[in-house]
Structure 1
Amino acid sequence: MTERFSEQLNNFDEQNPLEQLIERLKPLHSMLSRNNYVKDTTSRLNQIISDADSQPIVLFLGKERVGKTTVINSLIGRNLLEDRLSEPTRTNTFLKYGDTEYIKAVFINGMEVTFDIANLSLFTISNTESAKIIRKHLDYLEVYITCELLKKVTIVDSIALQAGANNTAYFPPALLKRCNEVFWVLQAGSPATEAELNFIEKLNKMGITAHLIVNGIDRVDGEVETFLDMEKERYGYFIGEDVPVSALQAQQARTTNSSQLLIDSRITQLSQLMFQLIDNKQKKTRHITERFLQWLERLRVEVNTIPAREPYVSAFEYVIQHQNDVQKDAAQLQRDKALVTSLEQQYESVSKVFKEVQTLFQLLQTLESHSYLRDPIIDMYEEMAGLYQKHVRDYRKLHVEYTMEYGELEKQFKKQTGKSLPFPIEESELTPLLSERIQTLNKIQSHCEQKQVFIRKYEQFVLEKLDAVQSRLNELVRDRLLLTHNQLSELESLRTYELSCMTASVNKLAEFNCITEAQNFIKDAIEPLLTEGVLPIKEQEKLQIRQTIERIVTVDFTYETPIETEVDEILGPLDLKEKYPLFKLRLTEEDIVSEIPELPEKIEI
């Protein structure tokens, strides 16, 4: 343990437990930052430190068009985030306090770039090609604005819940784990779907209790309490607090300076609840502690795999090979075996690339993931198939919109006439509002009809070209397998290394010295804090912590002692074709065609 750190320990008794933990994590992060091969793990540790030092994080999530962004705009008191119904939020956005307003874009590779606040819509809702390219590599946004509320809390405007497996909505777990509180936004009058309910139940299993916001209470004619009671009866045991609000009324109150409208919107109740929840410092300490314990387990896996993966394994073997000429042949053989294993795994992967492909969507996903499955013919087919699936998705969305609009028409007609909707509709029974809704329905029906024409057009293309494309793809796979097989065959001739590689290998191993330093620091400085009872850690967890740290520190990164190896025979050829038979792509018309709802009929008057 360094002298500097020993001095810091004297001041720890005056700090709260969370501060003590973070002060010990900072030097650990500094050590690990010197190694690029644990970059992602180090970045996650930095995120824990940053979140612990910053305000509590509150996440707003829900499906599309429930008003998450509008609710957040109402809370911060300005229309900062674009909330167009036609353009949903496409980037997870952290709103933080800043004396100077700007945007920080955090990319997947860890790069951070700042932009003027005026460019916010480019990242959050813009559908231009340049925006799509940027978002493809974007992890999340941090938006710094001057807002008193954000001095106490960081608010996250999230992308909509996505379709997941087993009829359960999906949201990135990494972001969920960062947040201290989660608010689930539901539109008044629109009950939660089964996928949402499964997602809320899944959150509970993760130890996350979401709080419910019912938005749009001004649109349900005073029936919000009935709606809320019905929803709580379905899944109330999975949620925490609930707050009905009207983000629209809150915005109107701000523009009209209406105190009564602000009261009616109940947005103040939401902000009070939010502050009440985040004021629990013990809960935040436990939350950050849990995240660090999860990170510690991730580090254990990382540290334990380093000696068996690149670049460490090649550098280590190369140094050992040259420490003793007697062992040189044996060490080279070990290297060749490692290469054989790698190429064999590559061959196996390519031979099975189409094994699980049973739909057009899975085929497109596979094409995107493997560069060797590319040529002009495949690129054109992929583009047309993508357009086909896009029009199918657009048609389904329009159909859902038509169904919801039609339901509203039925309700209005019954409310007006006391009877069910007849066809054709008598013109004498129409009000201007009903006529307008019918025009909207017929417009949507017309769009559906247009989309159906495009669907049939692209469907015909993908079906006509299917056989030729499958044949070409199978040919590309065979070419790739042949290339890998040839690489394995040539391996026998690669028996020597350039002497200059020795210096590079030694330098590469030196980069892992900081891992050894981190191992000692974790044992001497981190473990005592985790196990001495200062932090909210259970006794059972302490046992697991000791075991985890023991497995971290026992990994040996020294390389002074030569490795004992046995001289083996020259590597023999592998019959990869027999060992890993080729799984050909065999899609049928049924696998390609997407089912779509029947085209709605035009409403006649």
Structure 2
Amino acid sequence: MKLNELVSIHDEHFDTIVQSLEQIVQAMQSNTYVRTTTKSLQQLLSDIQRNPIVLVVGKEGVGKTSVINAYLRAPVLCSREQDRTKVHTLVQYGKEQHIEAAFMDGVDAIFELSKLELLTVADRFAANLLREQMEILSVSVDNPYVEPISFIDARAFDVTSTSNYYISEAIMQRLDDVFYVIRADQQVSDEEIAWLQLLNERFHIKPVCIVNFSDKPHENHENIAPYVRDMRYVNAKQLLQIADRAPNDAQFAPLDEAVAEVVQKSTLRSQKFARRLFRWLERFTLEIESLLEREPLKLAAEFAHTNVEEQQQIQKRNQAILEEYELEYESYSSLLEPIQTLFQFVRLIETRDYLLTPDTIVFTRLASDYQQVLREYRQKYSEYQELMKKLQQHTETRQKGGFLLIRKLFKEGTENVFDVSKAINQLNLQRSLLDLIYERIRTIETQLLESFPRIHRIIESFVQQRANSALQKIQHFKNSQQRDMRTFMFATRKLNEFDGVREAQQLVSMLIADLVLQDSFTDAQREMLQNWYQRIVAVEILQNNDTLQANVLEDLEIDKAYAPFQKLNLSIDMLRSDYPDVPTIMKLEDVKSES
């Protein structure tokens, strides 16, 4: 019997099987030699209650990432023509937005959402080093459109050879559906058809074909029709452009309906769960049979010759993760240090989403009003000074009897000699306007200075929380690496820690014995279960107390000191702006007395 054939489990046995599998996971968790098999079972249990997962795949340039962004109504993933997705990326719902990188050796690393471009498309040494050992990248976003469903944004399909395009068996087994993306103005290649045929025959998945760039001239796509169950036409870029103002536009219907169809048919997952359980039982059988060949003595002997390079690569990878964490801490710990003016303070708040709250938004608007009214006051004051300068020049000229100079200065005829009364009236009108603006400045300034201490505390607290979180992440990562190092060294010296595997061996044997008794399986399926049972119970796992000498790897910089958090040194006095007082009222007598 082939493992991809349908397997059935009665609903009344489902909960009992799940409980047995949870006990098996508990037993296996303490042993690092079966880590990947344990993780595979944990993933199987996790997938029972998770949202359905859709793989979005297609060749380079068809707009796979744009299609996902269009459905999400937001540019969540990096989508640029010059940068293609370089790692399979799972997009799922999460109230706390973050990125989790799962590496092939079982290590997980958590990053901020701002690192998404670095990890998915950036062509940097650190990014390429991380991606080399990365199985999948999980992105959790607070977006309501992924509450019922998750997507895997696959690397671009290699049309030169289907053998060069790899999606792991573990990922394929988790899928509930596939969206295959093509361009309306491009033909579907023979290599793509071959991959779709494999998808149909091996995984029993007939995907939905998403025809992107629907505004382009359409090519003939008859060759793909037998391998897909539906074809839906969209223009992802256009959908993203209207997403903000018209998220419920009818143009989104092809994507929304395709997703709704996947969600509705998720009740068929029990069959997929049973099929994946059979695959895991086969994997466990092979794992436990090979365990004696991988026992610590032989593993340590191989480690001395071949494993040092691998461990050094892991060290470099860990150092790259640590450096990213340190850069994150440094960006927060020194963020407030250069802030010396109100403008810098407002700019800081406006350019960082995590600092925007109702209170800080009100403060920034108040500060903007304050700066605007200051500019207006200074402009009007400058106009007042210019007019005053003319009046003073006229007065000085009259005192010297320079009538001809007046004409030359004001470029006026004798019939339009400078009107002192009019100038004084203009000055007083300007002075009245300055008085009104001055009062406005005082009012806003009072409100601004009264609210500043509270806003100061809020901003400093938010940034310090981020810095502390980054510092904790550094420490947790270092602690994790120390624990892994101690565990590794201890495991090479003491080889008798296989109690958990022995317990799992017994639990799996009991589970298989129960499955054989179920009448929902065919004779061929029962025969396969009996074969696994016999092979599992035949393995005798012995204790070994010998000790080994292991290569000692360099630790991370555990005791490295980091610069302390720099507090905000912006005071109320630094917040105030200098501006002249309102001039006194001018009278004609004042000018005459001077003359």
TM-score, with structure 1 as normaliser: 0.53
Question: Which residue of 1 is the match for residue 223 of structure 2?
Answer: 234
Q: What is the identity, as a one-letter code, of the residue corresponding to 2:53? A: I
Is 1:102–2:102 an aligned residue pair? Answer: no
Q: What is the identity, as a one-letter code, of the residue corresponding to 2:286? A: V
Q: Tell me if structure 2 keeps the 8 A contact 1:103–1:120.
A: yes
Q: Tell me if structure 2 keeps the 8 A contact 1:181–1:277.
A: yes
Query: What percentage of residue pairs aligned between the two structures are identical?
Result: 23
Is 1:298–2:283 an aligned residue pair? Answer: yes
Question: Which residue of 1 is the match for residue 524 of structure 2?
Answer: 540
Is 1:159–2:135 an aligned residue pair? Answer: no
1:244-287 deviations in whole A, cap 9, x for unaligned? 2221221122144386xx32x3x323222222233234421111
Q: 2:537 aligns with which of 526, 537, 553?
A: 553
Is 1:203–2:189 an aligned residue pair? Answer: no
Q: 1:519 aligns with which of 477, 486, 505?
A: 505
1:103 CA displacement: 1.3
Question: Which residue of 1 is the match for residue 463 of structure 2?
Answer: none
Q: 2:259 aligns with which of 262, 274, 279?
A: 274
Bigger shift: residues 141-150 or 82-91: 141-150
User: For the residues of structure 2 that align with 1:303 and 1:186, how far apart are their CA atoms?
Assistant: 44
Alpha-carbon distance change, 532 to 240 in structure 1, aligned in 2, over 3 angstroms: same
Q: 2:216 aligns with which of 214, 220, 228?
A: 220
Question: Which residue of 1 is the match for residue 139 of structure 2?
Answer: 143
Question: Which residue of 2 is the match for residue 364 of structure 1?
Answer: none
User: For the residues of structure 2 that align with 1:113 and 1:132, how far apart are their CA atoms?
Assistant: 15
Is 1:250–2:234 an aligned residue pair? Answer: no
Q: Tell me if structure 2 keeps the 8 A contact 1:168–1:198.
A: no
User: For the residues of structure 2 that align with 1:557 and 1:27, how far apart are their CA atoms?
Assistant: 19
Equivalent position SS for 1:546: helix
1:548-568 deviations in whole A, cap 9, x for unaligned? 1221122122469xxxxxxxx
Q: Tell me if structure 1 keeps the 8 A contact 2:233–2:254.
A: no
Listed as ranges, the matches of 1:283-322 within 5 Å are 283-311=268-296
1:240 CA displacement: 2.2
Alpha-carbon distance change, 182 to 42 in structure 1, aligned in 2, over 3 angstroms: same
Alpha-carbon distance change, 506 to 282 in structure 1, aligned in 2, over 3 angstroms: same
Equivalent position SS for 2:96: coil
1:63-105 deviations in whole A, cap 9, x for unaligned? 1111110110111111111110100011211111111211112
Is 1:123–2:119 an aligned residue pair? Answer: yes
User: For the residues of structure 2 that align with 1:545 and 1:243, how far apart are their CA atoms?
Assistant: 42
Q: What is the identity, as a one-letter code, of the residue corresponding to 1:524? A: M
1:31 CA displacement: 0.8
Question: Which residue of 2 is the match for residue 42 of structure 1?
Answer: 38
Alpha-carbon distance change, 135 to 506 in structure 1, aligned in 2, over 3 angstroms: closer
What's the C-alpha RMSD, in Å, of the aligned pairs?
Answer: 3.3
Equivalent position SS for 1:210: coil
1:170 CA displacement: 4.0
Equivalent position SS for 1:94: strand
Listed as ranges, the matches of 1:110-509 within 5 Å are 110-162=106-158, 169-221=165-217, 223=218, 227=219, 230-231=220-221, 233-257=222-246, 262-263=249-250, 265=251, 267-311=252-296, 507-508=494-495
Larger Cα-atom Rg: 2
User: For the residues of structure 2 that align with 1:202 and 1:234, how far apart are their CA atoms?
Assistant: 15
User: For the residues of structure 2 that align with 1:147 and 1:112, how far apart are their CA atoms?
Assistant: 23
Alpha-carbon distance change, 164 to 210 in structure 1, aligned in 2, over 3 angstroms: farther
User: For the residues of structure 2 that align with 1:57 and 1:241, how far apart are their CA atoms?
Assistant: 18
User: For the residues of structure 1 that align with 2:264 and 2:516, how far apart are their CA atoms?
Assistant: 24
1:423-466 deviations in whole A, cap 9, x for unaligned? xxxxxxxxxxxxxxxxxxxxxxxxxxxxxxxxxxxxxxxxxxxx
Question: Which residue of 1 is the match for residue 60 of structure 2?
Answer: 64
1:310 CA displacement: 3.2
Question: Which residue of 2 is the match for residue 318 of structure 1?
Answer: none
Alpha-carbon distance change, 170 to 106 in structure 1, aligned in 2, over 3 angstroms: closer
User: For the residues of structure 2 that align with 1:80 and 1:96, how far apart are their CA atoms?
Assistant: 11
